[in-house]
Amino acid sequence: MAFLSSGKFPSRLLVLNGNPARDTFCGAMAEKIAAVARERGQTVRLVHLEDLDFDANLRQGYRARMDWEPDLAALADSLTWCDRLVLVHPLWWGSAPGRLKGLFDRLLMPGFAFQYIDGKALPKPLLAGRKARVVITSDTPTFFLKWIYGNGWVKVLRRQILAFCGFKDLKVKYFGPVRGAKPEALAKMVEDAAGILG
């Protein structure tokens, strides 16, 4: 099944650069993915984590609601608006950068991303009907990520974050090792990142 729509009704694509710095390898990949999607006639919103002003610490957990800052409210609007999501981020210590994880903590709240239902073990996903793709950069070879380390973060991201909130058709593309790669190899990875669009 194609990730992007074609014809009369283009996809509404949200591309999120989850690197805390904008002018990075992940930033270049996110820009490339957004540009290619626009060339294909899709409607695209591109968001860089660095541009968002918010407290990444969910200070009280679910005991007390923290109001969204304007940038989080705008991102929530984009997440509601989109029917396709592409997340690009580096792998740090086998997981997401702390600020990206903090974004998930603050944004994907009950009543927005999911809803608890009395008497039910699992909550209702509120972002159903959307598809997602993930691009991950790493200094660790993909073989090690998958077969030695067990790919723990991708399992969490796929099952306990994106699928939990209702995203389907989840696919992940890995790029690495980045450290020590020659400039031409890095440039090719940036070009190839748009392949996640199918």
156-188 residue pLDDT tens:
999 999 999 999 999 999 999 999 999 999 999
pTM of the model: 0.95
- What pLDDT sits at residue 143? 87
- What pLDDT sits at residue 141? 87
- What pLDDT sits at residue 28? 98
pLDDT per residue as tens digits for the range 81-116: 999 999 999 999 999 999 999 999 999 999 999 999
Average pLDDT, the chain: 95
- What pLDDT sits at residue 1? 58
Q: How many CB atoms lie within 10 A of CB 30?
A: 28
pLDDT at 14 over 80: yes
pLDDT at 7 over 80: no
Mean local confidence (pLDDT), 139-153? 88
- What pLDDT sits at residue 116? 93
Calculate what percentage of the chain has a pLDDT beyond 90. Answer: 86
Q: Does domain 18-197 fall into CATH 3.40.50.360?
A: yes
Quote the CA–CA distance of 39 and 168 in Å, as a whole number: 24
At residue 160, φ and ψ (nearest 5 deg) are -95, -10
| Closest alpha carbon to 104 in 133, 76, 137 | 76
